[in-house]
């Protein structure tokens, strides 16, 4: 029997070393483990062990060597020590082989071989006697108070030890246990989570939900070991009386001992597995300690050790949201009820109250938003002003708004019809693939493979569109119409060339100049070169801002070609996460956001002599902020020149804002345009637009057509209908080349719109408002303008950004009509009445500043030293309620203090070119030990959607995407996608195979490198949490707590901050799982209010990580949410409303 025990201990040792090799090196090889054990046995110390590994060319890191050495030492200690069991009947000590087998393998012990865990207890064949139980409780109390505590080699489960707090942060305390308490002479460290810190003694009176308010570094504390699983001990302060060191919850030890006894009994009658679940974990501990981890247990069984070690290393214990049921405990109950075992054997038996149902239910946590507004807002916060969204429609009851609403309903109906047809097609696919192969008389067509029919529905749905899309595919990217003229001839042919000398003289004479010119006049590419040729670069660089990144990079490439230098030398560009400049750069194109970042570093902009604000008519947030900043800067720097350029600009308004500066107009190459209006408003403007295109194609002379629509879905629908109706026309009708143009289209497909149409073919470009001013398309003679566009509008009342289809402004309508007069006399067909143009359209588009979330703007302005945002010199000031909402959110994030000033955290958040919530998440992840994973998640969230679903292979794409889905949510799904792409060697072919955008993935990789360099500059550690995804979710909660939602019993979810009803997006990995509490990255309004990028969370994290924004509801109080709930009977259609009320019945 002794030989069998030795083999069992040897097996446990091999399993322990194999586990360490698998965790650290990814090589869980048993042969290698046996070799490592032999090397350790040949020496006498860790140094000898490390030397032996080096001699055998084992290139292990020092921490890996230490872990291997400690794993072997622990296994040796467990094998040499075993509990000695004393029988109650004779009071004699049992030290034979039978008791050793019971100690080593608890499941092997039967009713005739009782087993005591935790201490030497008194047991009879039927279990503990009442008198012995009282004595055991007395012994527990004496051990808890520190009297006669046994000295062990390492900390034991539920043991109480003295320690010192060595590190304290907001959420946890690290405690070092002194070495004089252990026979091995080693020091051990453990972690006390925030929920286990608050004690009933000295630390109770210190404060709130921050661990630093309870414990300070260097405090001497009594701690209790509550879990031995994982890399570090899990400790508790609140379970120990800090004055006496007594255990305030000794019943935990009783539960373990009783559970072990029950396991011994079940082992003989029901199972050979140990009763792991008899030792219940306390709420908030995250891991449930097993019976084998209890004090006195010498080792795990072979299978049990591997299973427990695997669970501990992978972090699965932390990832379970509900405790799994215990089959062993159920078996114990059945045996007791049948009379086979006495009631005392039940794990929850208590001498005073008998058998209790101690099945622990998860504590119900209710959270509500703190109503207290930030002290510095002074009544401008929640409820103090109207926080309704800004009106972007002049007449909500007009014909244009009715047409927009009707078109939205028709679009939704068309989408549902398509989905129904696709489902019917999928239902027609045979489900039984084996019958054709089993039938010996089956024809070849009856034998189908699953891969052959998968995606048939999507292929059929996209068959029509494949034909017209195939015509517009291009292998090369075209920058415009191919010209045979030299670069010099092209430059001299631009309209601005005639005004070169006048322009330079105006810049020399005036500090601020407004330039108005049509698109294509050459102002963007030529003005910077004219200024450089005039010698303005001697005093500094010439900077030109663009509202879009693609415009900044493409214009810089063109100017570098005209100058005759490599891009990045004399001419360069700078966009977010991509800087292509050098010390020789004198002409720099950049996005307006990048100039704001430079102003944050240098508020004098000493590197620049001239700053050009191009496309200022678009009035982006950053452009409006730059207006105010540069207006103050020109007063401090008389040598600085500022030029504002635009295609359609209210010159009088801008000149008045810029100190009544002069306005210079550049005549464009324009021809007369005839404008046509409809006589009656159209309900379905999409159908009318398609009819107008075909009428022009059939009846009008040669010339390309430009049709403006609102978005990708509408453009694709129009292209499909045009293609199908062209097939019905006679063959004598010339061919119509259908070309879409929208932002999400790949560049090689967009480039087709710049190429001339083939002979005897007319081209129709179906585009969004990007073709109003940003794109120059030659050959267009006919413009069709339905009069609508999509605007992104932020609603401060709901905290949601919504893309709304709204009527365009009069300025945009004029700009669209001008597209028809670039090549020759043209025509513009406006699909609305002339009265609607005059009475239902705003003069100009509402600036983005007045319809956007201003949190990042406020953070940047505060970092620039601008305290009073309401007094800032805005051209069109934002609503005070929107500013107050942004400052309230920054206060909750910890970026602003009680006086509205920037905190240290806020200044660090401003250094990252990220949304404040993402910046806070990234900074908080350093303390939570998961910054490596959060870096990846933030990078993936900072780019466009990486998943794509081609219409002809939607089901196959969904199948590929589902492989990456994580049960915790979409943020971890993005992490899994990036890690898998990294494992593939960042291969583009892997992205294509898994239906991922390779370009977007590479962009995310570049963003990650840039963020990593910023973290290195600020000396922020990059730490990996391994498989512990709980840390990642906590870090996400610390930044996105304002975007938390709770499952609503009626439908969907309710956002906690605004009470908005929202739904999980169908593309989410949590779409059909429905966790109770979630956070989301953004809200989008389509057919419903959908949450994108959703992750499940624990509600306790909300008030732990955001005490300024959330508070825990007392279980003895009724929360505001419950007070708002109404209990009403079901709808009764046979009786009037409210007839169920007593007041109605008495009348």
pLDDT tens-digit map of 588-628: 999 998 999 899 888 899 999 999 999 888 888 888 999 99
**Whether the predicted pLDDT of 1076 surpasses 50:** yes
Please give the pLDDT value at position 698. 93
Please give the pLDDT value at position 808. 93
Regarding predicted confidence, which is higher, 77 or 55?
A: 55
487-666 has CATH 1.20.120.140 classification: no
Question: Whole-angstrom Cα distance, residue 122 to residue 119?
Answer: 10
Torsion, Cα 859 864 870 871, to 10 degrees, reads 180
911-1118 has CATH 3.30.1330.40 classification: no
Question: Whole-angstrom Cα distance, residue 873 to residue 896?
Answer: 22
Total length of the chain: 1147
Question: Whole-angstrom Cα distance, residue 111 to residue 267?
Answer: 9
Question: Whole-angstrom Cα distance, residue 347 to residue 344?
Answer: 8
Torsion, Cα 686 688 693 697, to 10 degrees, reads 150
Question: Whole-angstrom Cα distance, residue 326 to residue 311?
Answer: 16
Question: Whole-angstrom Cα distance, residue 242 to residue 214?
Answer: 12
Judge whether 487-666 and 911-1118 match in fold.
no
**Scanning the structure block, which residue is given the tokens 């730490």?**
1023
CA angle 353, 357, 359 (to 5 degrees): 140
Kind and range of the H or E element at 600? helix 592-601
Q: For the residues of 969-1024, what is the DSSP string, one character each?
A: BHHHHHHHHHHHHHHTTS-HHHHHHTTB-HHHHHHHHHHHHHHHHHHHHTT-----
Distances (CA, A) of 163 to 193, 224, 792: 15, 10, 56
- From 199, 195, 143, 194, select the one nearest 173 (Cα to Cα): 194
**Whether the predicted pLDDT of 491 surpasses 90:** no
Maximum mean pLDDT: which of 486-495, 792-801, 1026-1035: 1026-1035
Please give the pLDDT value at position 405. 85
Mean of pLDDT values over 981-988:
92
**Whether the predicted pLDDT of 447 surpasses 70:** no
Kind and range of the H or E element at 933? helix 931-941
- From 686, 645, 636, 635, select the one nearest 665 (Cα to Cα): 645
Is the distance from CB of 960 to CB of 966 less than 8 angstroms?
no
**528 pLDDT band (50/70/90 cuts)?**
very high
In this predicted model, what pLDDT tens digit does every residue of 731-755 receive, in sequence order? 889 999 999 888 666 656 667 787 8
Superfamily designation of domain 160-236: Nucleic acid-binding proteins (2.40.50.140)
Q: Average pLDDT over the chain, rounded to whole?
A: 76
Maximum mean pLDDT: which of 369-383, 417-431, 649-663: 649-663
Mean of pLDDT values over 516-522:
80
**Whether the predicted pLDDT of 318 surpasses 60:** no
Question: Whole-angstrom Cα distance, residue 86 to residue 591?
Answer: 80
Question: Whole-angstrom Cα distance, residue 354 to residue 980?
Answer: 55
Mean of pLDDT values over 640-667:
84
Question: Whole-angstrom Cα distance, residue 481 to residue 777?
Answer: 8
Mean of pLDDT values over 660-682:
87
Mean of pLDDT values over 985-1002:
91
- From 883, 823, 824, select the one nearest 854 (Cα to Cα): 883
**Of 97-106, 243-252, 950-959, 1098-1107, the least confident:** 97-106
Q: What are phi and psi of 764, to 5 degrees?
A: -120, 120
Please give the pLDDT value at position 495. 87
Is the distance from CB of 196 to CB of 285 less than 8 angstroms?
yes
Please give the pLDDT value at position 185. 74
In this predicted model, what pLDDT tens digit does every residue of 547-564 receive, in sequence order? 888 788 889 999 999 999
Question: Whole-angstrom Cα distance, residue 565 to residue 152?
Answer: 75
**Whether the predicted pLDDT of 316 surpasses 50:** no
Regarding predicted confidence, which is higher, 333 or 1080?
A: 1080
Mean of pLDDT values over 858-866:
89
**Of 153-157, 379-383, 1023-1027, the least confident:** 379-383
Please give the pLDDT value at position 611. 96
Instruction: Give the predicted TM-score (pTM) of the model.
Output: 0.63
3-state helix, strand, coil in the chain (%, to 5): 45, 15, 40
CA angle 487, 613, 1007 (to 5 degrees): 85
| DSSP-assigned beta bridge partners for residue 240 | 247
Please give the pLDDT value at position 327. 63
Question: Whole-angstrom Cα distance, residue 426 to residue 420?
Answer: 10
**Whether the predicted pLDDT of 229 surpasses 90:** no
Please give the pLDDT value at position 535. 93
**652 pLDDT band (50/70/90 cuts)?**
confident
**Whether the predicted pLDDT of 1055 surpasses 60:** yes
**Whether the predicted pLDDT of 1050 surpasses 70:** yes
- CB atoms under 10 Å from CB of 597, counted, come to 17
**Of 48-62, 381-395, 626-640, 1081-1095, the least confident:** 381-395
**Whether the predicted pLDDT of 208 surpasses 60:** no
Share of the chain above pLDDT 90, in %: 28
**Whether the predicted pLDDT of 266 surpasses 50:** no
Share of the chain above pLDDT 70, in %: 71
**Scanning the structure block, which residue is given the tokens 């003679």?**
781
Question: Whole-angstrom Cα distance, residue 509 to residue 271?
Answer: 95
Q: Per-domain residue ranges for the chain?
A: 8-70, 160-236, 487-666, 673-850, 911-1118
**343 pLDDT band (50/70/90 cuts)?**
low
**440 pLDDT band (50/70/90 cuts)?**
low
Mean of pLDDT values over 990-1018:
91
Please give the pLDDT value at position 359. 44
Cβ-based burial of 188 (10 A; exposed 0-12, middle 13-18, buried ≥19): buried
Considering the domain 673-850 in this protein, what is its CATH number?
A: 3.40.50.300
Mean of pLDDT values over 171-175:
85
Tell me the HSE value of 582 on the side-chain side, using a 13 A CA sphere. 8
Mean of pLDDT values over 660-689:
88
**Scanning the structure block, which residue is given the tokens 């309870």?**
214
Question: Whole-angstrom Cα distance, residue 750 to residue 519?
Answer: 19
Please give the pLDDT value at position 975. 95
Maximum mean pLDDT: which of 198-207, 483-492, 776-785: 776-785
Please give the pLDDT value at position 764. 94
Is the distance from CB of 832 to CB of 784 less than 8 angstroms?
no
Please give the pLDDT value at position 170. 78
Please give the pLDDT value at position 713. 84
- From 509, 876, 510, 518, select the one nearest 660 (Cα to Cα): 510
Question: Whole-angstrom Cα distance, residue 407 to residue 577?
Answer: 39
Please give the pLDDT value at position 118. 34
Q: Which two tokens stand for residue 82?
A: 């075993």
Q: Which two tokens stand for residue 806?
A: 């709204």
């Amino acid at each position: 029997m002794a030989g069998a025990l030795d083999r069992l201990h040897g097996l446990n040792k091999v399993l322990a070393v194999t586990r360490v090799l698998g965790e650290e090196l990814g090589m869980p090889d048993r042969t290698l483990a046996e070799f490592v054990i032999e090397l350790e046995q040949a020496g006498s110390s860790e140094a000898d062990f490390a030397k032996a590994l080096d001699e055998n060319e084992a290139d292990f890191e020092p921490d890996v060597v230490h872990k291997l050495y400690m794993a072997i030492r622990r296994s040796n200690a467990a094998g040499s020590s075993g509990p000695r069991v004393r029988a109650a009947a004779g009071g004699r000590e049992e030290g034979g082989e039978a008791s050793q087998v019971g100690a080593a393998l608890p499941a092997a012990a039967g009713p005739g071989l009782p087993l005591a865990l935790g201490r030497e207890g008194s047991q009879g064949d039927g279990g503990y006697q009442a008198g012995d139980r009282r004595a055991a409780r007395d012994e527990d109390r004496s051990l808890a108070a520190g009297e006669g505590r046994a000295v062990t080699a390492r900390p034991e489960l539920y043991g109480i030890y003295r320690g010192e707090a060595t590190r304290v942060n907001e959420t946890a305390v690290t405690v070092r246990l002194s070495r004089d308490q252990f026979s091995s002479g080693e020091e051990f460290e453990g972690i006390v989570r925030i929920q286990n810190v608050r004690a009933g003694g000295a630390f109770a009176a210190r404060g709130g939900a921050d661990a630093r308010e309870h414990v300070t570094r260097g405090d001497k504390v009594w701690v209790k070991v509550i879990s031995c699983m994982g890399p570090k001990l899990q400790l508790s302060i609140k379970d120990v009386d800090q004055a006496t060191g007594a255990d305030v919850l000794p019943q935990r030890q009783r539960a373990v001992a009783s559970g072990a006894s029950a396991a011994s009994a079940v082992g003989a009658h029901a199972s050979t597995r140990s009763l792991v679940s008899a030792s219940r974990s306390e709420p908030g501990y995250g891991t449930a300690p097993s019976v084998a981890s209890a004090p006195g247990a010498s080792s795990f069984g072979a299978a049990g050790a591997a299973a427990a070690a695997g669970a501990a290393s992978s972090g699965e214990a932390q990832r379970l949201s509900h405790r799994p049921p215990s089959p062993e405990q159920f078996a114990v109950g059945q045996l007791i009820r049948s009379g086979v075992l006495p009631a005392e054997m039940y794990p929850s038996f208590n001498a005073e109250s008998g058998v209790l149902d101690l099945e622990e239910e998860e504590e119900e946590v209710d959270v509500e938003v703190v109503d207290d507004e930030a002290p510095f807002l002074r009544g401008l916060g929640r409820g103090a002003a109207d926080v309704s969204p800004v009106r972007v429609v002049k007449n909500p009851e007009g014909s244009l708004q009715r047409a927009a609403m009707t078109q939205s309903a028709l679009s939704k109906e068309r989408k549902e019809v398509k989905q129904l047809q696709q489902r019917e097609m999928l239902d027609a696919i045979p489900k039984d693939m084996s019958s054709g192969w089993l039938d010996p008389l089956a024809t070849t067509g009856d034998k189908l493979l699953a891969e052959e029919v998968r995606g048939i529905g999507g292929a059929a749905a996209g068959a029509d569109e494949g034909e017209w899309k195939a015509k517009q595919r291009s292998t090369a990217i075209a920058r415009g119409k191919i010209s045979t003229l030299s670069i010099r001839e092209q430059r001299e042919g631009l309209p601005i060339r005639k005004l070169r000398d006048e322009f330079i003289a105006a810049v020399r004479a005036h500090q601020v100049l407004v330039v108005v010119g049509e698109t294509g006049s050459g102002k963007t590419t030529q003005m910077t070169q004219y200024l450089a040729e005039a010698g303005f670069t001697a005093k500094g660089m010439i900077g030109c801002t663009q509202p879009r990144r693609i415009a900044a990079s493409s214009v810089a490439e063109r100017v570098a070609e005209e100058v005759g230098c490599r891009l990045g030398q004399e001419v360069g560009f700078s966009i977010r996460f991509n800087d292509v400049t050098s010390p020789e750069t004198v002409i720099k194109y950049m996005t307006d956001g990048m100039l704001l970042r430079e102003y944050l570093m240098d508020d004098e902009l000493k590197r620049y002599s001239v700053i050009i604000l191009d496309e200022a008519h678009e009035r982006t947030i950053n452009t409006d902020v730059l207006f105010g900043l540069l207006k103050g800067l020109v007063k401090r720097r008389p040598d600085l020149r500022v030029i504002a350029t635009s295609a359609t600009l209210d010159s009088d308004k801008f000149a008045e804002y810029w100190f009544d500066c002069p306005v210079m107009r550049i005549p464009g190459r324009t021809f007369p345009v005839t404008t046509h209006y409809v006589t009656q408003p159209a309900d379905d403007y999409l159908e009318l637009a398609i009819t107008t295109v075909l009428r022009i194609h059939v009846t009008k002379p040669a010339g390309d057509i430009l049709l403006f629509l609102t978005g990708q879905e509408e453009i694709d629908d129009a292209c499909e209908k045009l293609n199908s109706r062209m097939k019905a026309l006679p063959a004598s009708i010339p061919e119509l080349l259908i070309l879409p143009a929208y932002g999400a289209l790949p560049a090689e497909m967009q480039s087709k719109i710049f190429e001339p149409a083939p002979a005897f073919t007319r081209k129709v470009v179906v585009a969004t408002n990007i073709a109003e001013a940003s794109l120059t398309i030659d050959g267009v003679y006919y413009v069709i303008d339905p009069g609508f566009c999509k605007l992104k509008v932020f609603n401060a009342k709901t905290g949601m950004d919504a893309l709304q289809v709204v009527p365009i402004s009069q300025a945009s309508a004029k700009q669209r009509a001008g597209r028809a007069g670039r090549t020759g006399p043209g025509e513009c067909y406006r699909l609305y009445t002339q009265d609607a143009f005059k009475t239902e359209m705003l003069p100009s588009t509402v600036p983005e500043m007045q319809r956007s979330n201003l949190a990042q703007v406020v953070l940047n302005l505060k970092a620039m030293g601008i305290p009073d945002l309401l007094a800032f010199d805005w051209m069109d000031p934002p609503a005070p309620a929107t500013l107050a909402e942004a400052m309230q959110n920054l206060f909750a994030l910890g970026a602003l203090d009680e006086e509205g000033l920037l905190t240290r955290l806020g200044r660090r958040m401003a250094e990252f070119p990220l949304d404040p919530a993402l910046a806070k998440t990234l900074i908080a992840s350093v303390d939570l030990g998961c910054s490596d994973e959060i870096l990846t998640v933030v990078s993936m969230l900072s780019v466009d959607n990486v998943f794509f679903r081609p219409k002809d292979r939607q089901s196959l794409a969904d199948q590929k995407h589902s492989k990456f889905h994580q049960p915790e949510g979409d943020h971890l799904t993005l992490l899994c996608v990036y890690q898998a792409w990294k494992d593939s060697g960042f291969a583009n072919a892997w992205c294509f195979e898994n239906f991922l955008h390779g370009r977007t993935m590479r962009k995310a990789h570049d963003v990650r490198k840039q963020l990593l360099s910023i973290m290195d500059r600020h000396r922020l550690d990059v730490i990996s949490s391994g498989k512990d995804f709980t840390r990642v979710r906590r870090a996400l909660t610390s930044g996105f707590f304002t975007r938390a939602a709770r499952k609503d019993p009626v439908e969907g979810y309710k956002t906690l901050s605004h009470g908005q009803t929202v739904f999980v997006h169908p593309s989410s990995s949590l779409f059909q799982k429905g966790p109770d509490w979630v956070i989301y990255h953004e809200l989008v309004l389509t057919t419903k209010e959908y949450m994108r990028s959703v992750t499940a969370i624990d509600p306790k994290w909300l008030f732990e990580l955001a005490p300024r924004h959330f508070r825990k509801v007392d279980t003895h109080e009724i929360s505001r949410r419950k007070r708002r709930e109404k209990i009403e009977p079901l709808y009764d259609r046979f009786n009037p409303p409210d007839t169920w009320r007593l007041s109605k019945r008495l009348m």
